[in-house]
Amino acid sequence: MTTLFDRLKIGTIELSNRIIMSPMTRSRADDEGVQPEIAAEYYRQRASAGLIITEATNISPMAKGYVRTPGIYTPEQIESWRSVTDAVHAQGGKIFLQIFHTGRIALPDFLPDKAPPVAPSPVKANGQNYTDDGMKDFVEPREMTIEEIRQTVKDFAAAAKNAIEAGFDGVELHAANGYLVHQFLGTNTNLRTDEYGGSLENRARFVREIVRAIRAKAGADFHLQVKISAADYNNAIFFWEKKGTTLKDSIQVCNWLVEEGVDAIHVSSGNMFPHPRNPMGGFPVEHAVRWYDTMLSSGIHTQRNYFMMRNPLMRRVFLYLWHRSQERPENIEGALTKEAHAIRDSIRKLRSDVPVICTGGFQTASKIFSVIDLCDCDAVSIARPLVANNDMVRYFERGEELPEKKRCTYCNRCLLNALENPLACYEPVRFDYDYDAMTKEALSVFKPAPFR
């Protein structure tokens, strides 16, 4: 019988427990991609997790797709991360760097000389992205040349090498949630007819080349894992769209990755972020209205979206579309375990020493124990509940569950507030509508309480 506090061997690393902090974009770096001092405190507060996976980090100037996101390609960026790894290691924790390239999700606003974003094919993403000048529509990306693909592979390898210099215990390659690597895997985003498009084997060539390059650059003993979307659910909101990549496709890709020598697979879902199935839960319409209210001058669709959120009927239609492909609220925790189990079963036939990590709203010890004991996965990754409760693991260590009032409600207010406020819980119910207490907790990275 395996429990959440049984140690886990993951590559050459041994974790003290099977609770992993999932990556969450914080948007607190400066314009040069350098982390502020408070980043070290934020991660230190959560070092009781068996492993921390950082926010997604840009591998090059062309990789940037969001405001104030960190990088790992300049000496200054590497140095700023070193204080983070030192802080986590001082608490006895382990920390991996998640590396990514946003591809078509980027805007010219974020890229050198306001260049257009690059992608496997010139397929524009639906929706908008946040900038300091307001919400702006995604633009049509430029199709990458073979030389650009090869350079990007080298950029990923260099990022992994830089992660070693910054003191990280490993890296996670982000191949999920609609970013560049996932765009190559997707049938609706990769329309190429050369060796990087067409068949699944060709579409997976990019990610396999990255894995090989990282292994060659960082060494066989440096931990490398891949985060993958088990299925795209491209038609989750707009039912007339194609489904996109399926679980069957992802199982095959994971088998190839294991053959290439990855140390673990991290299972997610969806081909964009946010997505109705990642992270599952509510869509905070009232917060969306507030952001759009200040951004009406930007973007072709900003005014349309604003009035959709404001109009009661259109709001109900949107929320219906948002929720229709989700699990019921009581089933959000562990909603991806079937997909994780299928992937785990398949790769176990190739290698028995490659753990599968499953994300999906976990926050009760009993549920985590159950999915691990049933071999649905080997560890769970947790995002929002760990934002809300940096001491969650301490409760589990004492044999307790999180008190009901402290649990995440999956409202997703944290996602929209993170655009301009510290990444924290903004669900007033958890604070008995004491907004001073809510603000104090959000600002705890500036004036931290003693670590428990």
Q: Is the pLDDT of residue 26 over 90?
A: no
Q: How far is CA 10 from the centre of its chain?
A: 19
**Is 174 part of a structural domain of the chain?**
yes
Q: Is the pLDDT of residue 310 over 80?
A: no
Q: Is the pLDDT of residue 312 over 60?
A: yes
Give the pLDDT of residue 20: 97
Model confidence band, residue 317 (pLDDT cutoffs 50, 70, 90): low
User: pLDDT tens-digit profile of 241-271?
Assistant: 777 789 999 999 999 999 999 999 999 988 7
Domain that holds residue 88: 8-277+328-404
Give the pLDDT of residue 304: 47
Q: Do 247 and 364 have their domain in common?
A: yes
User: pLDDT tens-digit profile of 222-231?
Assistant: 999 999 999 8
Q: Do 266 and 137 have their domain in common?
A: yes
Q: Do 195 and 293 have their domain in common?
A: no
Q: Do 95 and 226 have their domain in common?
A: yes
Find the distance separating the first CA and the last CA of the chain, reported in whole Å. Answer: 29
Domain count, the chain: 2
**Is 232 part of a structural domain of the chain?**
yes
Average pLDDT rounded to a whole number, residues 120-128: 91
List, in order, residues 6 or more apart from 410 with CB less than 8 Å away: 279, 280, 281, 282, 329, 332, 361, 384
CATH value at residue 135: 3.20.20.70
The angle subtended at Cα 248 by Cα 56 and Cα 358, nearest 5°, is 40
Is there a contact between 44 and 451 (Cβ–Cβ < 8 Å)?
yes
**377 vs 243 pLDDT, higher one:** 377
Q: Do 370 and 223 have their domain in common?
A: yes
| Residue 395 falls in the annotated catalytic set | no
List, in order, residues 6 or more apart from 134 with CB less than 8 Å away: 294, 295, 296, 297, 298, 299, 302
Is there a contact between 156 and 86 (Cβ–Cβ < 8 Å)?
no
**Is 442 part of a structural domain of the chain?**
no
Give the pLDDT of residue 327: 65
Average pLDDT rounded to a whole number, residues 151-176: 98
Cα–Cα dist 400/167, whole Å: 33
Give the pLDDT of residue 452: 42
**Is 109 part of a structural domain of the chain?**
yes
**296 vs 345 pLDDT, higher one:** 345
Average pLDDT rounded to a whole number, residues 332-353: 94
Please give the helix or strand (H or E) that residue 347 lies within, else none: helix 337-348
Q: Do 191 and 311 have their domain in common?
A: no
Among the residue ranges 75-79, 348-352, 362-366, 419-423, the one predicted with the least confidence is 419-423
**Is 436 part of a structural domain of the chain?**
no
Model confidence band, residue 418 (pLDDT cutoffs 50, 70, 90): low
Q: Do 146 and 165 have their domain in common?
A: yes
Average pLDDT rounded to a whole number, residues 72-87: 98
Cα–Cα dist 22/365, whole Å: 17
Percent of the chain whose predicted confidence (pLDDT) is above 70: 84
Give the pLDDT of residue 28: 87
**Is 386 part of a structural domain of the chain?**
yes
Q: Do 151 and 99 have their domain in common?
A: yes
Q: Give the type of residue at 150.
A: R
Model confidence band, residue 130 (pLDDT cutoffs 50, 70, 90): confident
Cα–Cα dist 381/11, whole Å: 17
Q: Is the pLDDT of residue 299 over 70?
A: no
Give the pLDDT of residue 451: 43
Q: Do 304 and 222 have their domain in common?
A: no
Helix, coil or strand: residue 267? strand
Give the pLDDT of residue 296: 39
Catalytic residue among 179, 306, 410, 426: 179
**212 vs 301 pLDDT, higher one:** 212
Give the pLDDT of residue 288: 57
Could you tell me the pTM of the whole model?
A: 0.90
Model confidence band, residue 300 (pLDDT cutoffs 50, 70, 90): very low
**284 vs 90 pLDDT, higher one:** 90
Q: Do 273 and 288 have their domain in common?
A: no
Q: Do 200 and 343 have their domain in common?
A: yes
Q: Do 56 and 89 have their domain in common?
A: yes
Give the pLDDT of residue 69: 95
**281 vs 141 pLDDT, higher one:** 141
**Is 191 part of a structural domain of the chain?**
yes
Average pLDDT, the chain: 87
**Is 194 part of a structural domain of the chain?**
yes
User: pLDDT tens-digit profile of 202-211?
Assistant: 999 999 999 9
